[in-house]
C-alpha cells in the first residue's frame, strides 16, 4: 500500500484548481439509470471512487466512457442488464447504495448489497428503506442484500425523513422522478450536492421544486431524457486546501472556490484569524499575523459545519492558541485521526463525540496511519506544519477522495512525495 511522506517546509503560496465534487459526481452518475438516453458529466473529479462507481454501473449494463483525462464522463443506460448490485463492488464504497432509488424507479426492482465505505460509524440504511417503502416499495434484507421491488411502479407520497440524510434524500429524489403522482419529501437534506443533482435531473426532464430547502416536491413523469451537466465544485476539497495556508502560513488562491459552499466553515476560519477573500477566479486564503486562535466546532448537516472537514479542522486546532472543543454530531466514530495526531505531539482528549484540543506550539513529524478518507488528509495537513518528516501509511482512502494531492500541494511549495508500496 502506498505511503505519503511530508516534510514541514514553511509557508505555502500560489494558486491551485479545485475539482468537481466527488459526492456530487457519485450521485449524478447513478442518475444515468433513470433514462435510456445518454448523460454526459463534465468537470468530473479523477478519483478511485469514480472508477468504482463506473465499474458498478457497467456491471448493471450501463456504458461508461471516461474522456478528456477523466474530466468528462459519458454514461448511457440504454438497457439495464441486471438489477443486482453485487457485494464485491458495493463493499468498496458506501455511495454504491445510490443505485437503489434509480433501479427501483426504472426497473421496479433492485437487489443491492449493504454497502461498505469508510469505517466512521454504523451507517445503516433504515432512512432510505423507510422512505422508499412509503413510495410503495417492498424491501427485505436477505443474505446481506436489500431485495426491493415495486410491482406496477413507485407511487408518489408525502414522507418526512427522521434525519436529513444526504444519501437517503438523493435516493428518494431520484426514485420519485419516475413515480406516479407527487412526492413531498420533508426534512430533506440541503447540501449543495443535492441541489446539483436536482439541477441535472431537471435538465433530464424531471419536475422538482424546493432543492436547497427542507421540503422537496417531485412530480413524477413517464420518462427522463439525456442531458449534459457540469459537476459542482468540491466544497470539501476546497475547505481542505483552504486549511493548508491556514496551518503553514502563506497565501493561496483556490480556483473555482465559492464562499456560499462553505459559509459556516469560513466563519470559523475568520474567528481563528484566517482571511478569506473572494476573487474573480475563486477564493484567496491567508493567515493573518500571528498564531491561529482556537475555535469550537460542532458538525451539522448543511448549512452547518461539515463533518467531512472536522478531521482537517482538528489538524489546524492542534497548533492553535488556546483550547478548542470539536463536537461530532453526524458520525459516532469519527475521531480516529486524534490518536494519530497525538503521535505527532498534539494534545487531545476524546470523550464520546467530543474532542478537546489543547493547542501546542509545534507538531513533530512521526509515522502515522490513515484510517479513513478525511483522516488521511488531516494527517498530511498536520505533517506540512510539523517539524521533520511525517510518513502517512495506508493512504488508499486518500485516492478515493483527493485527485493528485501531491501535485496540488507540491505546486504550492509543499515538500510531499508518494512512496509506492
Q: Which residues from 303-322 bind ligand UD1, rule CB under 6 A?
A: 307-308
Regarding 141 and contact with ligand UD1 (CB under 6 A), the answer is no
Instruction: Please report how close the Cβ of residue 416 comes to ligand UD1 at its closest, in angstroms.
Output: 24
We find the least distance from the C-beta atom of residue 166 to ligand UD1, in angstroms, to be 4
Of 335 and 363, CB closest to ligand UD1: 335
Residue nearer to ligand UD1 on the CB measure, 190 or 284:
190
Q: What minimum distance in Å lies between the beta carbon of 237 and ligand UD1?
A: 12
Q: Does 140 bind ligand UD1 (CB under 6 A)?
A: no
Residue from the set 3, 113, 165, 240 that interacts with ligand UD1 by CB under 6 A: 165
Catalytic residues: 118
Q: Does 166 bind ligand UD1 (CB under 6 A)?
A: yes
399 near ligand UD1 (CB under 6 A): no
Q: How far is the CB of 421 from ligand UD1 (least distance, A)?
A: 26
Q: Does residue 167 belong to the site contacting ligand UD1 (CB under 6 A)? A: yes
Number of residues in contact with ligand UD1 under rule CB under 6 A: 22
Does residue 38 touch ligand UD1 according to CB under 6 A? no
Which CB, 163 or 396, lies closer to ligand UD1? 163
- The answer to whether residue 47 forms part of the interface with ligand UD1 (CB under 6 A) is no
Shortest spacing between CB 310 and ligand UD1, in angstroms: 9
Residue 73 binds to ligand UD1 (criterion: CB under 6 A): no
Q: What's the 3-state SS for the chain?
A: CCEEEEECCCCEEEEEECCECHHHHHHHHHHHHHCCCCEEEECCCCCHHHHHHHHHHHHCCCEEEEECCCCEEEEECCCCCCCEECHHHHCCCHHHHHHHHHHHHHHCEEEEECCCCCCCCCCCCHHHHHHHHHCCCEEEEECCEEEEECCCCCECCEEECCCCCHHHHHHHHHHHHCCECEEEEECCCCCHHHHHHHHHHHHCCCEEECCCCCCEEEECCCCCCCEEEECCECHHHHHHHHHHHHHHCEEEEEECCCHHHCHHHHHHHHHHCEEEEECCCEEEEEECCCCCECCCEEECCCCCECHHHHHHHHHHHCCCECEEEEECCCCCCCCCHHHHHHHCCCEEEEECCEEEEECCCCCECCEEECCCHHHHHHHHHHHHHCECEEEEECCHHHHHHCCCHHHHHHHCCCEEEEECC
Residue 188: CB minimum distance to ligand UD1, A: 11
Q: Using CB under 6 A as the criterion, what x/- string covers residues 193-222 for binding ligand UD1?
A: x-----------------------------
In the range 92-131, which residues lie near ligand UD1 by CB under 6 A?
94-95, 121-128
The residue range among 28-36, 163-171, 211-219, 285-293 that interacts with ligand UD1, by the rule CB under 6 A, is 163-171
- Which residues lie near ligand UD1 (CB under 6 A)? 23, 26, 94-95, 121-128, 163, 165-168, 193, 307-308, 330-331
Amino acid at each position: 500500500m502506498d505511503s505519503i511522506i511530508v516534510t514541514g517546509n514553511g509557508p505555502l503560496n500560489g494558486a491551485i484548481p479545485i475539482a468537481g465534487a466527488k459526492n456530487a459526481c457519485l450521485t449524478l452518475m447513478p442518475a444515468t439509470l433513470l433514462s435510456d438516453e445518454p448523460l454526459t458529466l463534465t468537470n468530473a473529479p479523477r478519483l478511485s471512487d469514480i472508477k468504482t462507481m463506473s465499474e458498478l454501473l457497467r456491471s448493471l449494463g450501463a456504458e461508461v466512457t471516461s474522456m478528456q483525462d477523466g474530466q468528462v464522463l459519458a454514461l448511457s443506460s440504454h438497457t439495464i442488464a441486471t438489477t443486482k448490485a453485487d457485494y464485491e463492488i458495493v463493499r468498496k464504497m458506501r455511495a454504491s447504495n445510490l443505485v437503489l432509488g434509480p433501479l427501483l424507479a426504472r426497473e421496479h426492482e433492485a437487489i443491492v448489497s449493504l454497502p461498505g465505505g469508510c469505517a466512521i460509524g454504523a451507517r445503516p440504511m433504515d432512512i432510505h428503506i423507510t422512505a422508499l417503502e412509503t413510495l410503495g416499495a417492498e424491501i427485505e434484507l436477505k443474505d446481506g442484500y436489500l431485495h426491493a421491488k415495486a410491482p406496477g411502479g413507485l407511487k408518489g407520497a408525502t414522507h418526512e425523513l427522521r434525519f436529513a440524510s444526504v444519501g437517503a434524500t438523493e435516493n428518494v429524489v431520484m426514485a420519485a422522478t419516475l413515480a406516479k403522482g407527487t412526492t413531498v419529501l420533508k426534512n430533506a437534506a440541503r447540501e449543495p450536492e443535492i441541489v446539483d443533482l436536482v439541477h441535472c435531473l431537471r435538465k433530464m426532464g424531471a419536475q422538482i421544486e424546493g432543492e436547497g430547502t427542507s421540503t422537496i416536491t417531485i412530480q413524477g413523469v413517464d420518462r427522463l431524457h439525456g442531458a449534459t451537466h457540469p459537476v459542482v465544485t468540491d466544497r470539501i476539497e476546497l475547505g481542505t486546501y483552504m486549511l493548508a495556508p491556514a496551518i503553514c502560513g502563506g497565501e493561496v488562491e483556490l480556483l473555482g472556490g465559492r464562499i456560499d459552499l462553505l459559509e459556516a466553515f469560513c466563519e470559523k476560519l475568520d474567528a481563528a484569524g484566517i482571511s478569506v477573500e473572494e476573487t474573480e477566479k475563486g477564493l484567496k486564503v491567508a493567515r493573518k499575523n500571528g498564531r491561529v486562535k482556537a475555535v469550537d466546532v460542532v458538525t451539522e448537516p448543511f448549512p452547518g459545519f461539515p463533518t467531512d472537514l472536522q478531521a482537517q479542522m482538528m489538524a489546524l486546532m492542534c497548533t492553535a492558541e488556546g483550547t478548542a472543543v470539536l463536537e461530532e454530531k453526524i458520525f459516532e466514530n469519527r475521531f480516529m485521526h486524534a490518536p494519530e495526531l497525538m503521535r505527532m505531539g498534539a494534545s487531545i482528549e476524546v470523550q464520546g463525540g467530543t474532542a478537546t484540543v489543547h493547542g501546542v506550539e509545534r507538531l513533530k513529524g512521526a509515522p502515522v496511519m490513515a484510517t479513513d478518507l478525511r483522516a488521511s488528509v488531516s494527517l498530511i495537513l498536520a505533517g506540512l506544519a510539523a517539524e521533520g518528516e511525517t510518513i502517512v501509511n495506508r493512504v488508499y482512502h486518500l485516492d478515493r477522495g483527493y485527485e493528485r494531492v501531491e501535485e496540488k500541494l507540491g505546486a504550492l511549495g509543499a515538500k510531499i512525495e508518494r512512496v509506492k508500496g
